[in-house]
Structure 1
Amino acid sequence: MIEDDASFAAALQRYFALSKEVECLQHHRTAEAALEALRGKVPHVLLVDINLPGMSGIEFVGRIKDLHPQVLCLMLTMYEESGLIFDALKAGASGYLLKRTPPKEVIAAIMEAHGGGSPMSPEIARRVVSFFHQKHTSATTDIPPANAHIATLAPREVEVLDLLSKGYLYKEIGDQLGISTHTVNTHIRRIYEKLHVQSRGQAVAKYRGLAEQG
């Protein structure tokens, strides 16, 4: 975890210590310290704040991805500005969470990212979807038309995608459909492959675009 707010980091670490799913191996208060410590082996997932003293979290993500392309970076920040969201994703972030996210949902997001997903707080997902809608209506989008590959989805995959578009977390989707989180992850990977997308936002944008056309 790269977080300069000591009280916030300590509270999250206490919650992680009670979890059987995740373990916080390192905590750094600056991006520079994290880069120095992570030149060797890195954890599976990094939680990264944006507003750090010195180097920003977004710049850190770009640099750590150059050093360790396989590492997964989740932004955990208070900022909701669209520019920062897309800068973080372009830098290589696998997801974007707001700091008001309950700790149990942060853990769920870590597991989701580790399972191949791209977790986002619902407010962030809506901003991403809105961006792609605007690009679609202005005919300048660089992603395929919304209905290009929807027809290839199985009925269960459509159900999963519908819940995904409503902001449900992977565990919540599993609870709704009576399937395991692992099965949800499998469906999500297949959805991404069939829709030729790489993120939750892109998948939801295609699905919503089709709904609007229908």
Structure 2
Amino acid sequence: MNQIEVNQSNNCSFNLPKATVLLIKRDPFQRLGLCKILSQQNSLTIHDCADSFTGLRLAQRYQPDVIILDLEFLVASDFELNEQLKEQSSQSKLIVCGQQLERETVLKVYSISAGYYLEDGDISKLLLAIANTYEGSIYVHPKTSKLLSTNLLLPVSSSRLDSLAPKELDALKHLIAGKDYQEIGQSMCISSHTVRNYISGIVKKLGLKNRTQAVVVAVCGGLLAEAQ
């Protein structure tokens, strides 16, 4: 099978980049099926495993460009697994794949700057997700776009940010600049665990549900200009 050229709805097309992909997925039949399809793309180098422990080791060993992670693993770790993967392979970009379309789950996935491939059997969407993720964009599956836009369009007031402590504001500025917890911690000379506590406190003080909403509030409140 030759390399697939994926056609998008706007009649543009793209070729898959030359990339290393790590697939961490539990179901052996589905995992091996995906591996077979992805391995047939000439530009992709595929590694795979069926558990998160092995996935962390492979991430450290191969430093993949893109990691495709089973949603079940991420949820089971209370979303800590993405931080662990970042520690092992800081440059890897993450795609989460799963069947669920629950609002909170999807929002949490995007809040960790991961793409979300809804497993609907359309392999072209997965290839599109890989290409977009490799280029630095967050892949938004068509079925999740309305859910995200509804959640992110919040009526906000910059005065809500006045309740935050100076260090919380500093952490928030780093967050909207695109830094992960480890990078924020290095910039502020604190641990990534402390950063996580700051962000959790921010979400609670602002009466929000997740850090995605906190970023929206910060941007609408003018913090983006200060962060740049």
Verify: 1:2 aligned to 2:24, yes or no.
yes
- In structure 2, the residue matched to 1:128 is 148
- In structure 2, the residue matched to 1:17 is 39
Normalising by the residue count of structure 1, what TM-score does the alignment of the two structures yield? 0.57
Verify: 1:69 aligned to 2:90, yes or no.
yes
- In structure 1, the residue matched to 2:103 is 82
> Which digits, 9 at most, give the CA deviation of each residue in 1:32-57, with x for residues without a partner?
12112322331100001111399548
Residue identity opposite 2:57 in structure 1: E
Map 1:112-191 onto structure 2 (within 5 A): 112-133=132-153, 135-136=154-155, 139=156
Provide the secondary structure at the position in 2 that maps to 1:27.
strand
- In structure 2, the residue matched to 1:34 is 55
- CA apart distance, 1:92: 4.1
Provide the secondary structure at the position in 2 that maps to 1:46.
strand
Distance 1:6 1:57 in 2: 23
CA RMSD of aligned residues (A): 2.8
- In structure 1, the residue matched to 2:70 is 49
> Which digits, 9 at most, give the CA deviation of each residue in 1:74-99, with x for residues without a partner?
01111111211222233342x11101
- In structure 1, the residue matched to 2:130 is 110
Provide the secondary structure at the position in 1 that maps to 2:63.
coil
Alignment check: 8 A CA contact 1:50 1:76 kept: yes
Provide the secondary structure at the position in 2 that maps to 1:109.
helix
Normalising by the residue count of structure 2, what TM-score does the alignment of the two structures yield? 0.54
Distance 1:109 1:91 in 2: 16
Residue identity opposite 1:44 in structure 2: D
> Which digits, 9 at most, give the CA deviation of each residue in 1:77-134, with x for residues without a partner?
11111211222233342x111011511221121011111211121111221111012x
Alignment check: 8 A CA contact 1:30 1:55 kept: no
**Where does the alignment leave 5 or more consecutive residues of structure 2 unmatched?**
1-22, 160-211, 221-228
- Structure 1 vs Structure 2: percent identity of aligned residues? 14
Provide the secondary structure at the position in 1 that maps to 2:33.
helix
Provide the secondary structure at the position in 1 that maps to 2:124.
helix
Distance 1:2 1:141 in 2: 41
Residue identity opposite 2:69 in structure 1: V
Higher gyration radius (CA): 2
**Where does the alignment leave 5 or more consecutive residues of structure 1 unmatched?**
143-197, 207-214
Change (3 A) 1:101 1:68: same
Give 1 or 2: higher strand fraction: 2
Residue identity opposite 1:121 in structure 2: H
